[in-house]
C-alpha cells in the first residue's frame, strides 16, 4: 500500500535521528565530542512531534507522529561514556482523509560508547560506536527486526562564544523490511552563547535514504535554544524542517537534561 513507504520513512528517520536523542545537546542531531567525566551520570527525556504531507500517485498522504526518548549516559572514565537510549514512538497516517495506519509502541533500543581520544586548544575528537537492539515490533514499523550497528566520527571546536561540531557516520541498517543496509550520515552544528545560561543552536545534515526506490536523500535544517536553569538542569526547544521531499516536513522538539 502507499502508506507503507511513509511508515518506514517516518519511523526510520525518527530512529536514526533519535539516537539523536542519544546524541549531542538536544535539540541538536549532531553530537559533540564532550564526555560526562568519571562517575558522572546524565539523564535526558526528549520529545518530538512530526508532521509530513505528500501526494503519491494522486493520493493525499498526511502523516503525524512523534516519540519520547529516555537516554541515560554514564562516565566510565574521564574520556569514555556509555549511553543507553529507549524511544517510544507513535504515528498516524491518512490517505485522502481515511486512516491507513495508527500505531504506537517501544522502538529499538540503542547502546553506545563514546571515546574522546584527543583534546587540545578547544579541539576535541571522538569516536562513537553503537548497536541497535530489535526491541521494537518491525511488523508495526517500530523497528528493523534485526540487530544493527553504527560508528560516528565526531569533531568539536570551541571558539568562545561559539562552538562547532561535525559528525561523519556509517549505519549498518540490518533489517527485515527490505531497506537499504549501508547508510551514511553527515551533519554540522553550531552553538552561540547569547548570555549566561542561554545558547542558540543551529544544525544541518543529510543521510542516505533507506528506501531503495527513492530518488533523493533526507536532509534537514534545525534551529533552537538551550537554557540552563542550573549547572545540572537544562531545558531546550527546537524546530526541524525538511530540505528534501524524503525528509519529514516539520518536527517540533523539546527536552530536559539532568546531570548528577
Angle at the Cα of 146 (from 140 to 148), degrees rounded to 5?
120
Contacts of residue 223, Cβ cutoff 8 Å, sequence gap at least 6: 200, 201, 202, 203, 238, 239
Give the domain CATH number at 30: 2.40.128.130
Q: How far apart are the first and last CA of the chain?
A: 48
Domain count, the chain: 1
pLDDT digits (tens, 9 = 90+) for 189-241: 999 999 999 999 999 999 999 999 888 999 999 999 999 999 999 999 999 99
Model's pTM, two decimal places? 0.89
Structural domain boundaries enclosing 87: 2-259
pLDDT digits (tens, 9 = 90+) for 109-154: 999 999 999 999 999 999 999 999 999 998 888 889 999 999 999 9
* Whole-number Å distance between alpha carbons of 236 and 126: 24
Residue 213 in grid coordinates = 526506490
Amino acid at each position: 500500500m502507499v502508506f507503507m513507504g511513509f511508515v518506514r520513512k517516518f519511523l526510520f528517520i525518527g530512529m536514526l535521528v533519535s539516537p539523536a536523542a542519544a546524541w549531542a545537546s538536544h535539540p541538536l542531531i549532531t553530537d559533540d565530542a564532550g564526555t560526562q567525566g568519571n562517575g558522572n551520570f546524565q539523564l535526558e527525556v526528549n520529545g518530538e512531534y512530526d508532521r509530513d504531507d505528500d501526494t503519491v500517485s494522486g493520493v493525499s498522504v498526511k502523516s503525524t507522529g512523534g516519540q519520547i526518548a529516555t537516554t541515560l549516559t554514564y562516565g566510565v572514565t574521564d574520556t569514555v561514556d556509555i549511553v543507553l537510549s529507549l524511544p517510544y514512538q507513535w504515528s498516524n497516517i491518512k490517505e485522502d482523509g481515511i486512516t491507513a495506519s495508527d500505531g504506537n509502541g517501544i522502538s529499538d533500543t540503542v547502546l553506545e560508547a563514546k571515546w574522546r581520544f584527543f583534546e587540545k586548544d578547544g579541539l576535541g575528537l571522538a569516536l562513537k560506536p553503537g548497536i541497535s537492539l530489535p526491541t521494537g515490533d518491525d511488523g508495526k514499523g517500530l523497528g528493523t527486526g534485526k540487530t544493527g550497528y553504527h560508528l560516528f566520527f565526531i569533531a568539536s571546536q570551541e571558539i568562545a562564544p561559539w562552538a562547532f561540531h561535525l559528525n561523519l557516520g556509517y549505519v549498518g541498517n540490518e533489517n527485515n523490511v527490505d531497506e537499504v543496509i549501508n547508510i551514511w550520515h553527515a551533519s554540522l552544528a553550531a552553538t552561540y552563547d547569547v548570555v549566561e545560561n542561554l545558547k542558540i543552536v543551529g544544525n544541518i545534515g543529510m543521510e542516505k535514504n533507506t528506501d531503495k526506490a527513492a530518488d533523493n536523500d533526507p536532509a534537514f535544517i534545525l534551529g533552537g535554544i538551550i537554557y540552563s536553569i542550573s549547572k545540572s538542569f537544562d531545558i531546550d526547544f527546537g524546530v526541524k524542517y525538511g530540505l528534501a521531499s524524503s525528509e519529514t516536513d516539520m518536527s517540533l522538539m523539546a527536552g530536559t537534561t539532568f546531570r548528577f
